[in-house]
Amino acid sequence: MNFTSEIVEDVLILTIFIPRPNASSSESLKNKLLEEVEKNHKKIIIDLHNVEFTDSSFLGALLAGHKSTHAQKGEIILVGLKPQVKNVFNVTHMDKIFMVKGTVEQALTIFNRDKK
């Protein structure tokens, strides 16, 4: 899967660089999320500003990451959803499961606020 990861303070930021994730790339994302949670990353931002389309396998990968993160008392914040992707999240009610923010900076502010 085409993505990068970086750590800012204690927050893992995953940036997805594939416009139309498919089953194979979604499986890679799921594996990466589970691996990072096993490494004790409990604050994760997934930057989706490059993603133009989502399918059920991609949503499933995000849900698997959410479940694993929540089991460790962590959280995933999604950022940069394009209108088409945001619509899928609204229709599937994924916007009720994930916190969604516009930018990485907004998500970092949420995590930093929670530290205090």
Asked if 65 contacts 30 with a C-beta cutoff of 8 angstroms, the reply is yes
Closest CA to 33 of 79, 56, 67, 81: 67
* Amino acid in position 32: K
In the chain, the number of structural domains is 1
Give me the pLDDT at residue 114, please.
64
> pLDDT for 48-95, tens place per residue?
999 999 999 999 999 999 999 999 999 999 999 999 999 999 999 999
Give me the pLDDT at residue 113, please.
84
pLDDT band for position 116 (cuts 50, 70, 90) = low
Q: Is residue 116 part of a domain?
A: no
On average, the pLDDT of the chain sits at 93
pLDDT band for position 115 (cuts 50, 70, 90) = low
Q: Is residue 102 part of a domain?
A: yes
H helical segments located in the chain: 23-38, 56-71, 83-91, 104-115
Q: Is residue 85 part of a domain?
A: yes
Range of the domain at 56: 3-111
Quote the CA–CA distance of 76 and 97 in Å, as a whole number: 10
Instruction: Report the CATH number that the domain containing residue 95 is assigned in CATH.
Output: 3.30.750.24
Give me the pLDDT at residue 75, please.
96
Q: Is residue 70 part of a domain?
A: yes
Q: Is residue 44 part of a domain?
A: yes
